[in-house]
């Protein structure tokens, strides 16, 4: 592995230390290298905390003269909750600056690189794909200020959501299930309906990746049918958001691990999820069902991406997926690949 890739990989791993804590801010990692060794490291811990570059600069045990700064995202050049990182970097006698990806914010994109090149040698785009993968939905949020919503379904070849003869609650293969956990890991929240929780008692975590990260659990329970004895509801350490009809407000007690949204209609749920979830530090939601939840998501025009895992089997008596989207809904196939014995297809959703 080339030296730049080796050190940028270390910066990427540092960024991951704050997974689930940065809210609408991006994950960013940094290392500072001198004489072939990492002398300081940093990462952005969350809103209001120092940025990765500043943490690394401030924690260095030795002089930074003639060292190289590796950072996964272009340093900021504008004031926010913290001063611009580029101003601090300009005061340090670095030999070189290495950047993973440019900031997708149009106000920032390439601005710091141009400024820093007046004083340093700057190389950008080093391990760009890996750096961008840290924040797959950040660019969408910056441009639209809305939540990126992905809907996922597992189907038989004849379009059934169930396969009664599978001998397991899963009819997709192990490779597909691991990929689902990877998609969960990317998201800030996982959304299901209360009937799915009651029937399947899902954990909705990322255990197949051997990760402790658990996205926020969002449960749509308009009719107040949720069984509070189910695992995910009983887990007091798991952050949960539950949408319930306004008429059931007096029936529910406050809990530290649950934030209730009392809504007048199911459409109100999707409006809040799509337009207001950044107030909850959530900019991406992974929708896992069931069928009624899927229909509601598409009818509301909220879905940005559809992922389908097709298992090589038929289930003529199974329950099919029927989606009644808004008029003008179109799907564009953007990825199709084999995952184990299954077929994975990813579609971009747009509204004409």
Peptide bond preceding 290 in cis form (omega within 30 of 0): yes
What whole-number distance in Å separates Cα of residue 25 and Cα of residue 285? 16
Asked whether residue 197 falls in the same domain as residue 344, the answer is yes
Q: What is the pLDDT of residue 327?
A: 64
Among 102, 135, 168, the domain-final residue is 135
| Burial of 207 per CB tally in 10 Å (0-12, 13-18, 19+) | exposed
What whole-number distance in Å separates Cα of residue 104 and Cα of residue 116? 18
Asked whether residue 198 falls in the same domain as residue 243, the answer is yes
The three state secondary structure string of 253-312 is CCECCEEEEEECCHHHHHHHHHHCHHHHCCCEEEECCCHHHHHHHHHCCCCCEEEEEEEC
Using alpha carbons only, how large is the chain's radius of gyration in Å? Answer: 23
Residues 6+ apart with CB under 8 A from 207: 181
Whose structure tokens read 């272009």?
A: 74
239: closest CA among 260, 262, 265?
A: 260
Buried b / exposed e over 24-60, threshold 16 CB at 10 Å, is bbbbbbbbbbbeeebbbbbbbbeeebbbbbbbbbeeb
> Residue 203: which CATH number?
3.40.430.10
What whole-number distance in Å separates Cα of residue 50 and Cα of residue 82? 7
Among 84, 110, 135, the domain-final residue is 135
Asked whether residue 262 falls in the same domain as residue 346, the answer is yes
Q: What is the pLDDT of residue 141?
A: 95
DSSP assignment of 102-145: ---STTTTTHHHHHHTTTSEEEE-TTHHHHHHTSTTHHHHHHH-
What whole-number distance in Å separates Cα of residue 267 and Cα of residue 279? 19
Catalytic residue among 53, 74, 183, 288: 53
Asked whether residue 16 falls in the same domain as residue 160, the answer is no
Q: What is the pLDDT of residue 80?
A: 74
Helix (H, G, I), strand (E, B) or coil at 71: strand
> Residue 68: which CATH number?
3.40.140.10
Asked whether residue 90 falls in the same domain as residue 204, the answer is no
Asked whether residue 181 falls in the same domain as residue 311, the answer is yes
Q: What is the pLDDT of residue 164?
A: 65
Asked whether residue 211 falls in the same domain as residue 340, the answer is yes
What whole-number distance in Å separates Cα of residue 33 and Cα of residue 37? 5
Asked whether residue 221 falls in the same domain as residue 131, the answer is no
Q: What is the pLDDT of residue 165?
A: 63
Asked whether residue 193 falls in the same domain as residue 336, the answer is yes
Written as tens digits, the pLDDT of the chain (352 aa) is 589 999 999 999 999 999 998 989 999 999 999 999 999 999 999 888 899 999 999 999 999 999 999 999 999 998 777 789 999 999 999 999 999 999 998 888 999 999 999 999 999 999 999 999 999 999 999 999 999 999 999 999 988 887 766 556 788 999 999 999 999 999 999 999 999 999 999 999 999 999 999 999 999 999 999 999 999 999 999 999 999 999 999 999 999 999 999 999 999 999 999 999 999 999 999 999 888 999 999 999 999 999 999 999 888 777 777 776 666 688 999 999 999 999 999 999 987 6
Among 111, 135, 159, the domain-final residue is 135
pTM confidence score = 0.91
For residue 116, what are the domain limits? 3-135
Known active-site residue 45: no
Asked whether residue 230 falls in the same domain as residue 112, the answer is no
Asked whether residue 124 falls in the same domain as residue 228, the answer is no
Instruction: Give me the sheet containing 37-43, strands edge to edge.
Output: 37-43, 29-34, 68-73, 96-101, 121-124
H-type alpha helices, 187-276: 194-200, 231-234, 266-275
Asked whether residue 15 falls in the same domain as residue 129, the answer is yes
What is the total count of domains within the chain? Answer: 2
């Amino acid at each position: 592995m080339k030296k730049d890739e080796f050190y940028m990989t270390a910066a990427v791993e540092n960024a991951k230390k704050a997974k689930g804590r940065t809210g609408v801010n991006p994950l960013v990692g940094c290392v500072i290298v001198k004489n072939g060794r990492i002398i300081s490291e940093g990462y952005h811990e969350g809103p209001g905390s120092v940025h990765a570059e500043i943490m690394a600069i401030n924690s260095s045990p030795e002089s930074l003269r003639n060292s190289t700064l590796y950072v996964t995202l272009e340093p900021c050049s504008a004031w926010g909750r913290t001063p611009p990182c580029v101003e601090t970097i300009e005061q340090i006698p670095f030999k070189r600056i290495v950047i993973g990806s440019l900031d997708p914010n149009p106000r920032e994109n390439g601005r710091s690189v141009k400024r820093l090149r007046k004083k340093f040698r700057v190389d950008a785009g080093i391990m760009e794909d890996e750096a961008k993968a840290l924040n797959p939905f950040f660019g969408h949020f910056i441009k639209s200020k809305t939540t990126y919503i992905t809907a996922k379904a597992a189907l038989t070849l004849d379009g059934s959501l169930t396969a009664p003869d599978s001998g397991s609650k899963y009819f997709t293969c192990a490779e597909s299930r691991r990929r689902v956990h990877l998609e969960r890991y990317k998201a800030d929240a996982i959304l299901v309906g209360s009937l799915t929780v009651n029937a399947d008692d899902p954990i909705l975590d990322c255990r197949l990746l051997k990760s402790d990260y658990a996205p926020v659990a969002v449960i749509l329970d308009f009719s107040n049918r949720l069984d509070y004895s189910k695992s995910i509801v009983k887990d007091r350490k798991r952050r949960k958001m539950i949408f319930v009809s306004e008429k059931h407000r007096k029936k529910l007690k406050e809990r530290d691990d649950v934030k209730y949204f009392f809504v007048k209609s199911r459409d109100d749920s999707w409006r809040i999820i799509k337009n207001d979830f950044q107030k909850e530090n959530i900019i991406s939601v992974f929708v896992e069902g069931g069928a009624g939840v899927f229909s509601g998501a598409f009818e509301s025009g909220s879905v940005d991406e559809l992922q389908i895992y097709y298992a090589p089997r038929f289930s003529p008596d199974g329950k099919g997926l029927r989606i009644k989207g808004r008029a003008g809904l179109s799907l564009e196939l953007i990825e199709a690949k084999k995952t184990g014995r299954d077929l994975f297809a990813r579609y971009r959703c747009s509204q004409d």
